[in-house]
Amino acid sequence: MNRDNVSAVAMAIAVIAIIVGFGIYFNSPSLNKASSSSQQQLEKVVSAATTTNGTIKTIKLDKAQFLQIDKSQFQKAPEFAQIAGYINTPSSAPLTLASLKGKVVLVDFWTYSCINCIRTLPHLNDWYQRYADKGFVIVGVHSPEFEFEKNYDNVKAAVQKLGIKFPVILDSNHGTWNAYGNMYWPRDYLVDTQGYIRHDHIGEGDYNTTESAIQSLLAEGAALNGMKDISFNTAKSTTTINRSSLAFVDLTKQITPEIYLGYSFARAPLGNPQNFQPDQTIPYSIPPNTSFNPDIVYLDGLWKNNPDNMELQSNTGHIVLTYNARAVNIVAGGHGQQGIVTEDGATKILNNSLGKDLTQDGKFVLDGQRLYNLALYNNYGSHSIIINVSGKGFQLYTFTFG
């Protein structure tokens, strides 16, 4: 990531902490009052023409009514720009927004190490499979937060691991991100069949509203195409996420916000008195009887201060954090380095809090730069975590929570 992009991302991070770190979302920030009124007009037309029989929702279509909707206040969706690669397209062929005209398109800005983005994926996959035959498509715009997320093979492996079904385009230099004026992960723009942005949603949650907007725009597109009605099966209109799943989050809970490491990205100091020291290798230590402040990372060992991560230079190191959440994850990098996790002062992590990336004895081995889930409880609460690391080169980018 070039220096300009790093600065832009770093500026956005403080806002992201408020938007997604605390589970808050916003609807339609790019839509002005007049365009919102036009969108409400569409929703009224659809609502008045809708009948339900069991799980089948049918909308009677009157082309004349849909033609009355004023679109002059809506923005045209920008074309995808500076795309570095394509995944889940036929033969990895290029994909343009212009080629999708006539379809309803959800443009989803995401990045593969973002837990907030990961938690939206079950809903996106469900919508993609549910509405594809009605003229709906999702394009995942992968705009990297970290340098390692530019790598095509890394993104392709993540797409496969996460089970993403829809096309993904690599916005490695943030050309499309900048074209849309975006500042957030995740962010979803709904584009109608004529290329206008009709719905804009930042962050997680409010999935019913987004799905309703998808249905309304599909109905509008069908009407303008001369169809007399359109039906949707609403039996599973919203994906149900199991509480034991990493994708589950209760947005009403107070959760520790994302914690960034590295001197350029950090929003909060280290608990160690040495704090961050740009490009320096520092011997950090945790004095006995330290009183650990919540939501602050403490380090032990020899660590190099990189712009977007802390990199272990000694053979062993320790990381301590007290947090409030149900799940705790790290974005980390390396190959072969190991970690042993203990929670709440226990000598061994308990099975009821065992993270998805841990073995039964609380160990994990780094296999690349990605998100690792280290603890997953049934309920929310305050906990402490100790990560005992062995292996020079362990890179710690962020802590994220759910």
Q: Structural domains in the chain?
A: 3-233 (3.40.30.10), 261-401 (2.60.120.260)
Distant-in-sequence, close-in-space partners of 37: CB < 8 Å, separation ≥ 6: none
Q: Please report the pLDDT score of residue 30 as a whole number.
A: 57
pLDDT tens sequence across 282-305: 999 998 889 999 999 999 999 999
| Amino acid in position 302 | L
Looking at the DSSP bridge assignments, the partners of residue 196 are 76
According to DSSP, the β-strands at 395-401 and 259-260 are antiparallel
Q: How confident is the model at residue 325 (pLDDT cuts 50, 70, 90)?
A: very high
Q: What is the mean pLDDT of residues 54-62?
A: 93
Q: What is the mean pLDDT of residues 207-224?
A: 96
Q: Please report the pLDDT score of residue 115 as a whole number.
A: 96
Q: Supply the DSSP string of 208-248, one letter for each residue.
A: HHHHHHHHHHHHHHHHHTT-SEEEEE-TTSSPPPPTTSTT-
Provide the edge-to-edge strand list for the sheet that holds 104-110. Answer: 26-27, 197-202, 187-191, 104-110, 136-142, 168-170, 86-87
| pLDDT at residue 155 tops 60 | yes
Instruction: Write down the pTM of the prediction.
Output: 0.88
Q: What is the mean pLDDT of residues 195-216?
A: 96
Q: Please report the pLDDT score of residue 266 as a whole number.
A: 85
Q: Please report the pLDDT score of residue 15 as a whole number.
A: 36
Q: What is the mean pLDDT of residues 377-387?
A: 94
| pLDDT at residue 2 tops 60 | no
Q: What is the mean pLDDT of residues 161-188?
A: 98
Lowest mean pLDDT: which of 180-194, 236-250, 315-329, 352-366? 236-250
Q: Please report the pLDDT score of residue 357 as a whole number.
A: 96
Cis peptide before 186 (omega within 30 of 0): yes
pLDDT tens sequence across 75-113: 999 999 999 999 999 999 999 999 999 999 999 999 999
| pLDDT at residue 349 tops 70 | no
Q: Please report the pLDDT score of residue 289 as a whole number.
A: 86
Lowest mean pLDDT: which of 11-15, 215-219, 351-355? 11-15
Neighbours of 75 (CB within 10 A): 18
Q: How confident is the model at residue 54 (pLDDT cuts 50, 70, 90)?
A: confident
Q: Please report the pLDDT score of residue 365 as a whole number.
A: 98
Q: Are 309 and 262 a contacting pair, CB within 8 Å?
A: yes
What percent of the chain stands above pLDDT 90?
A: 76
Q: Please report the pLDDT score of residue 239 as a whole number.
A: 62
| pLDDT at residue 8 tops 90 | no
Please give the structure tokens belonging to residue 102: 């006539």
Neighbours of 148 (CB within 10 A): 21
SS3 of 289-329: the string is: CCCCCCCCCEEEEEEEECCCCEEECCCEEEEEEEEEEEEEE
Q: Determine the straight-line distance between the first and last CA of the chain, rounded to whole angstroms.
A: 27
| pLDDT at residue 358 tops 70 | yes
